[in-house]
């Protein structure tokens, strides 16, 4: 629980607004975000690095809602994108193209063209083949592409294997031992301008030491490049700082900054960071209504109207999200429930073995759902995606209407 989501008497509130009121007004499933929490998280990050020239590039993939992108843009953020679609979202939300870094292992020529024409800040190049393609595309447009190489430092992020990105076996980035030669190649290409170095080792990290180890390897390589006459303008140290879902104890942003700034002492390069989850994860919840309580032979089930298509993380990563009733009650007995959705998959669960005092019709809040919730949702089982609501100063604003079934098949044709 955070200060932005707390019980007032028996009602769970977001910024003093009862979540049950939002559920009644907009229905469920529904994602609800705190404007105050989003703002505070960004400002905490900016404050921690104020002693150095820096740019905070919010990782759009964590939550690409236009309202959230617009909020961060107004706070001064840049953006880390991984697709041409995300670039178009950033621009539609009022983000500045010259604050955009473009990551991702499989950029298409069309995406490169789109980003070059928008004049983004930097391409984070992840392979020799991509470098050659980018040079060709830039040349065809009569432009010069600013680039960093995403260097894979082979540092163990100590996180879930699906979200670890900095090991030799991962698909991301350029091998550390090959990066110097590829930088030389990049510097020789006519439509490429080397501007920096990028490193991102994974997501949901709960220790500082992997970040420091990766930074030290980046700095060593930057010094080698200087010997080659390649002077970097910026160092992009990626993102990945974790949040508390259950009992994790991730470092504070201040602790994270202190450790990195110590490792970077004496350096003059501009710093770029790509936080995603840390800015939005604990700023959002997913509201869902209990349709039925079912007693099975071995377990009791709370069957809710949210499902794996609404929140994929539990099914995909066996991820834990706290689950709270939005109205606490003392008139029913507490029991242990499997909180599951209506999708026809055994993997369709929101939480295992949760102790809840609830009845059918009650609304639950799935906590810490602001990151990789709505952004990973789907229409599996022809289920319309949820509505999204942003609460600002006690007032709820609908920022995404609930999809309709008709909209799901509007572009389909019968032969």
| Catalytic center residues | 344
The span from the CA of 104 to the CA of 120, in Å, is 15
- Name all contacts of 380-383 with Cβ < 8 Å and 24+ positions apart: 380/307, 380/308, 380/309, 380/343, 381/307, 381/309, 381/342, 381/343, 381/344, 382/408, 382/409, 383/307, 383/309, 383/310, 383/343
Instruction: Judge whether 239 and 193 are in contact, CB under 8 Å.
Output: no
**Tokens encoding 263:** 């490792």
Q: State the residue for tokens 């990766």.
A: 214
User: 11 has which bridge partners?
Assistant: 8, 327
């Amino acid at each position: 629980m955070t200060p932005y989501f707390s019980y007032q008497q028996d009602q769970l509130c977001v910024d003093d607004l009862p979540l049950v009121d939002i559920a009644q007004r907009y229905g469920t499933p529904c994602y609800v975000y705190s404007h105050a929490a989003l703002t505070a998280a960004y400002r905490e990050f900016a404050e921690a690095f104020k002693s150095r020239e820096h740019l905070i590039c919010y990782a759009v993939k964590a939550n690409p809602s236009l309202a959230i992108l617009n909020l961060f843009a107004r706070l001064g953020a840049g953006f880390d994108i991984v697709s041409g679609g995300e670039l178009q979202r950033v621009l539609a939300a009022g983000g500045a193209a010259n604050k955009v870094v473009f990551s991702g292992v499989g950029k298409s020529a069309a995406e490169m063209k789109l980003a070059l024409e928008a004049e983004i800040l930097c391409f984070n190049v992840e392979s020799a083949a991509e470098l050659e393609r980018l040079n060709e595309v830039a040349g065809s447009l009569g432009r010069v592409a600013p680039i960093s190489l995403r260097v894979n430092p082979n540092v163990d992020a100590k996180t879930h294997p699906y979200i670890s990105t900095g090991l030799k076996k991962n698909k991301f980035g350029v091998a550390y031992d090959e990066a110097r030669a590829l930088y030389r190649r990049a510097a020789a290409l006519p439509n490429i301008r080397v501007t920096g170095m990028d490193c991102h080792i994974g997501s949901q990290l709960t220790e500082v030491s992997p970040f420091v180890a990766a930074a030290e390897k980046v700095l060593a390589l930057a010094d080698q490049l200087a010997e080659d006459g390649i002077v970097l303008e910026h160092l992009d140290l990626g993102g990945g700082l974790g949040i508390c879902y259950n009992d994790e104890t991730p470092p504070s942003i201040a602790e994270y900054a202190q450790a990195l700034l110590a490792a970077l002492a004496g350096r003059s390069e501009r710093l770029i960071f790509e936080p995603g989850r840390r800015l939005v994860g604990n700023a959002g919840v997913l509201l869902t209504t209990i349709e039925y309580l079912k007693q099975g032979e071995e377990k009791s089930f709370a069957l809710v109207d949210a499902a794996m298509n609404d929140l994929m993380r539990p099914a995909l990563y066996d991820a834990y999200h706290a689950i709270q009733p939005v109205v606490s009650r003392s008139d029913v007995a507490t029991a242990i429930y499997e909180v599951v959705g209506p999708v026809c998959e055994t993997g369709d669960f929101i939480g295992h073995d949760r102790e809840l005092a609830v009845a059918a019709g009650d609304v639950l809040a799935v906590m810490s759902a602001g990151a990789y919730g709505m952004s990973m949702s789907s229409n599996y089982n022809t289920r319309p995606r949820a509505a999204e609501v942003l609460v600002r100063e006690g007032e709820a604003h609908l920022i995404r209407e609930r999809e309709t079934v008709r909209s799901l098949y509007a572009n389909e044709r019968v032969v």
